[in-house]
Amino acid sequence: MLVKEMMRRPVTVVPVGATLGEANQILQARGFRHLPVMDQGRLVGVLTDRDIRFATSSLCPEPRSGDDPVSLAMSSPPLTADPLDPVEDAARIMREHKIGCLPVLDGGELVGILTGMDLLDALMSLTGVTKPSSRLEVALVDRPGELARLTALLATRHVNIHSILTYPTPDEAVRTVLRVDSNQIRSLADDLRAAEFNVLWPLPKLRPVQ
């Protein structure tokens, strides 16, 4: 999944000569948290609602007023993304720098903006939860062929896979989370356990005490 598939456009921007009060009005009226700041068609910064609150508070070393220009509170130069960047790379940049958005530039032109909410939408799409499906989680042995063995077994049961996500764990297993189109998920999990897969979800049914 690429940034261009999840970014928001068109982008609401504010000119570098706007005041903090004017920018705050835009944020409040639109329900936004981030505003790219433009100077003659060029991106020069990003202003957030948090920037405004801090700049106009007593905590700021040089408190600003609503009549001061946004250039005194914006983050500059801004970190940006390219439309063809993988969305996971954008997420990594945002996490490492603890920022809530990435303006998206294509050849220097502002063409979109990617926010934390957009990343959540991307996660939902990647995990397949936007479609009717069931969740299956398996801990695979970290060796070639295990994922192929799992998907082959599901194919013999005529189960369609909507999504697959994997991640390593400290115990050297590979957690594999699938969204599948079967509503017989417990019987499917029983079949996987019979084939010696370590199924983590759904949990096995508890047998009644005799």
Are 151 and 159 in contact, with CB atoms under 8 Å apart?
A: no
DSSP summary character for residue 13: -
- What string of pLDDT tens digits covers the 210 residues of the chain? 999 999 999 999 999 999 999 999 999 999 999 999 999 999 999 999 999 999 999 999 999 999 999 999 999 999 999 999 999 999 999 999 999 999 999 999 999 999 999 999 999 998 888 888 999 999 999 999 999 999 999 999 999 999 999 998 888 899 999 999 998 999 999 999 999 999 999 998 766 555
Q: At what angle do helices 185-194 and 146-156 cross, to 10 degrees?
A: 130
C-alpha to C-alpha distance for 135 and 146, rounded to whole angstroms: 19
List pLDDT tens digits, range 20-38: 999 999 999 999 999 999 9
Q: What is the largest CA-CA distance in the chain?
A: 79
Beta strand segments in 17-108, E: 34-39, 42-48, 101-106
pLDDT tens-digit series, residues 129-162: 888 899 999 999 999 999 999 999 999 999 999 9
Domains of the chain and CATH, by start = 3-123 (3.10.580.10), 131-201 (3.30.70.260)
pTM to 2 decimal places: 0.85
